[in-house]
Chains A and B, each alone.
Chain A
Amino acid sequence: MIKIENLEKVYKTEEIETTALNGINLHVKEGEFVSIMGPSGCGKSTLLNVMGLLDKPESGSYKFLETELLKLNDRERSNFRKRNMGFVFQNFNLIDELTVFENIELPLIYNKIPSAERKKLVNEIIERMNIVNRSGHFPQQLSGGQQQRVAVARALVTKPKLVLADEPTGNLDSAHGNEVMELLCELNETGTTIVMVTHSSHDASFSNRIINLKDGHVISEKINKGKTEELI
């Protein structure tokens, strides 16, 4: 599904140049759950941003279902993103001025889904996420775990082919963290491809494959046997 080859990304400031991604090669199959790990500053988040079309690399190739994405202009990137990708962030990034329902509805509005269908889709996912009684609340009125559930619901409501998660449990206690990881697993089981950046080996243990980055290079790749066998 995803073929990334020789991806390079350099951050330049007035004084220094930092190579965040240094010739990354990465393939992700459809239905896979991949974790990306590594120490701070190794380029995990940069890689995720490039995959989510939020950032542009200097060189390399990024094919998604055989479409080369790095050649797209800003508008085409926006369109591609909203049709194919969902995002889950460490700090949830819910819009404070919108209720739970409205936050989840937002991507559907941008995908020009008619109002009645939007309502149906949002209600479905709210039920699935077990946050029905919270739908009229504002994000500040929810616990961290609940906020992340809303964020996941928002990422899933458009039924994206790929979900990108950036430290989804980073701001949560272990109980809430586990809940979110289980949610992602369930999602993966229904066929959604997931790429997750994490610091936590525990979280990574939920995925099929773990990729380790250091200084912008892929230094190792490990198949999560227990998980794969389970899949088989």
Chain B
Amino acid sequence: MFKLNLKIALRNLWKNGGITSINVGGLAIALAAFILVMMYVTYETTFDKGNPNYDNIYIVGRTMPEFKTNYTPPPLGKAIKQNFPEVMAVGTLKKGGFEFAISSDANTAFASNYLMVDYEAAKMLQLLPNEELAKPANEEGILFFLAKESMMTLFPKKKDDKPELVTLGSKAAGQTAEVKGTISVNKHSNVTFDALSVRKELGKNENYGYNNYNTYIQVKSGTDIAALEQKINTLYKNELIKDGQDVSTDRYKQTTIFLDPLKNQHLKPMAGNNAAYKVLIALSVLAMLILLIACINFTNLSIAQATKRAKEVGVKKVLGVYRYQLTFQFLTEILMQCVVATILGLLIAELLMPKFNALFNVSLSIWSANNALLYQLPLILLAITFIAGIYPAMVLSGFKPSLVLKGNFQTSRNTYWLRNSLLIVQFSVAVIFITSLLIISTQLKYMRTQDVGFNANQVVYIKNIMMFSDPRVFEPVRQKIMRIPGIKSVTVATGIPDGSENGSNGYTVNGVEASIDFLDVDFDYFETLDIKLADGRFFNKAFKTDTANSAIINESAAAKYGLTDPIGKTIRGCSMDYKIVGVVKDFKAQGFETPVQPTLYSIKNPCGNAKTQLMLKIDQDQMSEAIATLKAQWPDINKMDGDNFRYYFLNDLYGKLFQKQEQLQSVFFAAALLTIFIATLGLFAFAKYMTNNRMKEIAVRKVLGASDVQILKLLNSSFFAMVIIANCISWPLAYVLTKKWLETFAYRIDIPVLPFLISAAVTILLTVLTVSIQAAKAVKANPVNALKYE
């Protein structure tokens, strides 16, 4: 019986080849999207899962009055290990902080993500070199490892795993160190690095004031984490007192300890935001929607095709087949189509994989051995077979033989409504994606064209590890650089306008205290960035006081203090009295998501970090020559960095702020294209079916004198109505969704009307085109044929 059913199914699918390919093809494309997203979701949710102690590792963090942080002092880890037997291991880590050069005789590599760990952390977090990790013999012993890529750059011919000697920093000024060996970096881990040093103990001489380490603990299975958290908290407070820290402050009283599981670190860490997690959820919903649309298509088309199978059902029932056997038969048929769709989907996914990997900056592969797809795919296959197949199977197997065998067949009013509703849902989803895509694009266009208040063009940022906090130290460097033809201005600051955050501190003006941002700059900072002056003047070498206690504030800071005439006023902060000499117009150094922060710019700042960020304004026409000369002269200009001249264009760095939105735009573009494509496929097949069903009606109308246009109108009208309904349903949804998204921007567009009108126009146009292509055949046909056929 199975063989015969298979024959019927195959011959049927073959006979209706067009509709079958639309059905299977649409599902395959949707499945490809779903497979990609599912692989991404699996990847994102399994960071560090390969660690055998995945479920028992926690990071120790602190909840402060204003924020949460994963930075803890190193003695805390030791105290935890000594006091709580349920904690099996404690590991301490510290990040390197700045990029440095590592040179061999042959080449130079840069370590931008240097990580220091203690032996226990290396073992706990599986940071294991290719050779067995030996415990450093003594307190001073440091084992230094390099990622394979860097090692290959430095020693291209190296085959063994023996230690090598390298120079750290500039060759002239640098120090020599031994690289113990190569280490494979697991990119699918929360702990990544390009250079690693392992010590017996880390942060040995630091006290409880040094909150710049990470502490990981590994607990015994079944440990009550809430209780442990409480105990560590009490321990921490007691240790602070013992350590002699000031415990009278509110800050101390309000600080508590939390334990955050390793498995939450990547997507929803307590110290940090869960934006990545939200994106993942949104992406999953998106993929499910697309798959749902394809399933709806499937259901719709299968029901539309039902009339063709009615006779078969009738005959089989007359011959004594039970209904459940027929239901099973149709489900099996749909399963077969789904299997084909899945195979096709995998192929499409494979083709799209490079683009997807580039967009999401991952390196996924379908063909990896431990792929979760192995068990996920069969489950999805069964699920879509059930979702897409159960209704048509029930409808088909439910036909009454006494009716269908007489030819009195009509799909019931119920399936008519169902099919229409399903089409409306499809188009609604498509309209939401199109509208959202257009609104996202409008916001991106706004961000790209809006005046950000400074000019990043022709500004070159040079990497540097030399500290230029004192203007007198920087002056000779400036003069050397300025001698190069094409260089218009040079400055150094603690930060560049690429979205990075400034420091913040409390400042007082006229008795009004407020917390505002501060940025330490040098002469020509505002000129280099082409920032506009609102009042007063910029820093100027002619004024000796500028290197002592002059400050420039931005308009937001003036507004925050309510200053109408700020010039000459005194602003006090960081134990200094500054005199305000100028007010600059606000500029969007942090991009469009956060509002411009009230900021104080000064040359001298005892609370600030070291000024290391060099920025040069270079004449466009002499750019390449100027950069070549800079590179050649760099060892002379900057002895510390020596031969390691590295530069970036500031507009590229600032442009990275839009990356997230551009990624979103790409995702929505793909989703809009996919949904509209699948929905149109469904519509195409549905219109074909409807038109075929109405051949006789069309013939009769033509005989009675209907014009071609009247018939086209007649066939289009119901579809037209459905698309209008779909638009009406999705407009408010799209409005709410995009409004929510736009609210994440401090600077944003008002929601325009045009995207809504365009998505309506696009869907209506596609519908009329799709339906008319089908209808035209019926209109052109000779009515006599249709009537004779009957």
Contact = CB atoms under 8 A, between A and B. Distances in A.
Interface in B1-36: 1, 4, 7-8, 11-12, 15
Contacts of A98: 4, 7-8, 11
B402 A95 contact: no
Interface string B37-71: 00000000000000000000000000000000000
A49 B311 CA distance: 16
A81 B311 contact: no
A74 B323 contact: yes
Contacts of B322: 74-75, 78
A12 to B, nearest CB: 15
Contacts, number: 66
A139 to B, nearest CB: 10
A102 interface: yes
A89 B407 CA distance: 11
A152 to B, nearest CB: 14
Contact of A110 (B1, B311, B312, B401): B1
B312 A97 contact: yes
Interface string A38-79: 000000010001001011000000000000000000110011
B316 interface: yes
Interface residues of A, number: 28
B320 interface: yes
Nearest to B13: A97
B7 A82 contact: no
A107 interface: yes
Nearest to A49: B402
Contacts of A75: 322
B443 to A, nearest CB: 54
A109 B401 contact: no
A87 B318 CA distance: 8
B320 A95 contact: no
A91 interface: yes
B611 interface: no
A96 B313 CA distance: 12
Interface string B296-328: 000000000000000110111111111100000
A106 B319 contact: yes
Nearest to B314: A93
B159 interface: no
B324 to A, nearest CB: 9
B225 to A, nearest CB: 57
B168 to A, nearest CB: 77
A95 B323 CA distance: 18
Given A93-B315, A95-B311, A107-B320, A55 B4 contact: no
B402 A93 contact: no
A55 B1 contact: no
B405 interface: yes
A84 to B, nearest CB: 10
Nearest to A79: B320
Contacts of A49: 402
B402 A106 contact: no
A78 B316 CA distance: 10
B8 A111 contact: no
Interface in A86-122: 87, 89, 91, 93-98, 102, 105-107, 109-111
A89 B405 contact: yes
A78 B321 contact: yes
A89 B12 CA distance: 23
A109 B4 contact: yes
Contact of A97 (B15, B323, B407): B15
A55 B12 CA distance: 28
Nearest to B5: A109
Nearest to A103: B315
Given A54-B400, A91-B405, A95-B312, 16 more contacts: A49-B402, A52-B318, A74-B323, A75-B322, A78-B321, A78-B322, A91-B407, A93-B315, A95-B8, A97-B15, A97-B312, A102-B4, A106-B4, A109-B1, A110-B320, A110-B321
17 contacts: A54-B317, A54-B402, A78-B317, A81-B319, A82-B319, A82-B320, A87-B318, A93-B311, A93-B405, A95-B312, A97-B7, A98-B7, A102-B4, A102-B7, A107-B320, A110-B1, A110-B320
Question: Which A-B residue pairs are the 4 nearest by beta carbons?
Answer: A82-B320, A97-B11, A54-B402, A49-B402
Interface of B: 1, 4, 7-8, 11-12, 15, 311-312, 314-323, 400-402, 405-407
